[in-house]
Structure 1
Amino acid sequence: MTGISGKGCGFGFVCYENADEALSAVAELNGALIGDNTFFIGKAQNKMERHTELKNQSKDLNVYVNNLDDNIDDERLREEFSQFGTITSAKVMTEFGRSKGYGFVCFSSPEDASKAVTEMDGRIIVSKPLYVALSQRKEDRRAHLASQYMQRLASIRKQVINIFTAI
């Protein structure tokens, strides 16, 4: 696919005559490294199908890495985590060209991601111990934090009631 300027959009489509050939292409080529690019090959989907699938897939594949040294870039992050399996992406979050101190590493399998969390959490890279966990979607994290807040609030209310009933 090309845009108005004639430059590639970074994606394209191939139409097969039968479903078996298409499934075979997906199985053989998905995740293939061609040049410096890791290719995603899959069934063409509308936006809603894609969003639902990505939501379900990425839950156990994406690893959150915090407390990164300022000198760690995307390549170094990928290098540090590559021993645990195939990485589909590694990104240090930046603002105005400076590291924000955290990033994400996405693996091709949940087992690799889990192994990375187990092995890398607390490991010192450069001069800082990393905090490594399976990534949560923002909505899920907010819901979990809200639930924790409500539980704490209920506990405090219970303690206050116990104090006043004891008086």
Structure 2
Amino acid sequence: MWDHQTGHSKGYGFVSFRNQQDAQKAINDLTGKWLGNRQIRCNWATKSDNENAVENSEEDAPENNPAYTTVYVGNLSHEVTQAALHCQFHALGAGVIEEVTIQREKDFGFVRYNTHEEAAATIQMANGRILNGKPMKCSWGSKPTPPGTASNPLPPRIQPFQILPSAAMNQGYSAAELLAYQRQLA
């Protein structure tokens, strides 16, 4: 879509496909990819989107709008839990995580950060990383964080301690001692 007065791009567009499967594949494959210095966000358009295409200036784009602090995380396997996603993103060290949610039946989730800059760094670091055998597709959440949302940082998640069967790995500790240590960590 072009601004006829300035001749510049409005920052969005529409693509038509012959069949729904090809359109869904494009949404899945292109969301989170970079085009120049902008990250692509794909979604289904409705008839009203085409008729009343809303102005989307460069300033309002999520990558330029400090109100956006949420990272969309797609292509998650069914086994990924909210705790595992939290742990994975905490390990990146990009910033303070405020909230983690998962839509398990739809294989995606959201990670909200304290600042826009932290979310932007996370998108670049996490996009394409493998989690449970699948590459994550990370991009901006579809809505800005509402003004006045209270900051409530989540405590860091620790990977669950696992007792390995090898006696050499236990370094002489009994199973009961290792279990007590695991409880202490939790």
Which structure has the bigger radius of gyration?
1
Q: Which TM-score band applies after superposition, normalised by the shorter structure? A: 0.3 to 0.5
The structure whose RCO (Cα within 8 Å, separation 6+) is larger is 2
- Of Structure 1 and Structure 2, the greater strand share is in 1
- Of Structure 1 and Structure 2, the greater helix share is in 1
